[in-house]
Amino acid sequence: MQGNDDEESRAVDLRQRTEDDSDWIVELLTKEWGSTKIVTRGNTWTADELPAVVAITGDERTGLATYRIDGDSCEMISLNSLMENIGIGTALVNEVKRRAKVAGCKRLWLITTNDNLKAIRFYQRRGFVLVAVHRNALDESRRLKPSIPLVGLDGIPMRDEIEMELIL
Ligand SMILES: CC(C)(COP(=O)(O)OP(=O)(O)OC[C@H]1O[C@@H](n2cnc3c(N)ncnc32)[C@H](O)[C@@H]1OP(=O)(O)O)[C@@H](O)C(=O)NCCC(=O)NCCS
């Protein structure tokens, strides 16, 4: 295990993505996000080509975080835990945070959507703050990625990008 310091994350090992992970990463992103393309703030990111942390539990891959570093900011592009509530999501966030700090970043930020109340809760519990609501940003995102649904989690219309950040 590396890069995390809390008790909850002890069940998970974290490692840099390898060539062998590529097919799994494409499959996971496609299943969880409809495509390997992820749109944030009007930009389309090819998430399967980004730096990534893979979580391993036992012999299985159980989580993925992709991110990009731009100057002194790090944007988390995707975060998925395939085995929830045992510390995998927290461990992945901690590892991206550690990597961002090593790279000299001052800010770790991300976009989630207004329907993802669980994520908004999860990130706030881990020190992130809401810095902006980009109203109706999903209209533009859908032009770039038409597969983004109109209705999201809990039947909530997917409309806005919620920007969250953690100062490092
Ligand atoms: C949001 C998400 C990443 C959280 O991942 P996770 O692996 O469930 O996260 P964790 O296990 O670290 O934390 C979840 C809860 O489990 C609890 N938990 C962790 N280890 C635990 C353990 N051993 N026993 C009991 N509870 C535990 C944590 O305390 C946490 O609760 P809290 O927020 O009240 O503190 C996950 O739900 C997910 O992949 N969602 C779908 C994709 C998504 O929305 N991604 C983020 C938007 S970009």
Going by alpha carbons, the residue nearest to atom 36 of ligand 1 is: 81
One-letter identity of residue 66: T
Q: Encode the chain (168 residues) as per-residue pLDDT tens digits.
A: 444 444 444 479 999 999 999 999 999 999 999 999 999 999 999 999 999 999 999 999 999 999 999 999 999 999 999 999 999 999 999 999 999 999 999 999 999 999 999 999 999 999 999 999 999 999 999 999 999 999 999 999 999 999 999 999
Number of helices (H) and strands (E) in the chain: give both, helices first: 4, 9
One-letter identity of residue 3: G
**Nearest-angstrom CA–CA distance, 106 and 101:** 7
Q: How far is the CA of 32 from the centre of ligand 1 (A)?
A: 16
**Nearest-angstrom CA–CA distance, 46 and 38:** 7
What is the per-residue pLDDT for 145? 97
Going by alpha carbons, the residue nearest to atom 31 of ligand 1 is: 85
Q: How far is the CA of 18 from the centre of ligand 1 (A)?
A: 24
Q: How far is the CA of 89 from the centre of ligand 1 (A)?
A: 5
Q: Which atom of ligand 1 is nearest to the CA of 79?
A: 45
Give the chain's domains with CATH numbers: 7-167 (3.40.630.30)
Q: How far is the CA of 70 from the centre of ligand 1 (A)?
A: 27
Q: What pTM did the predictor assign? A: 0.94
- Cβ atoms of residues 96 and 75 within 8 Å: no
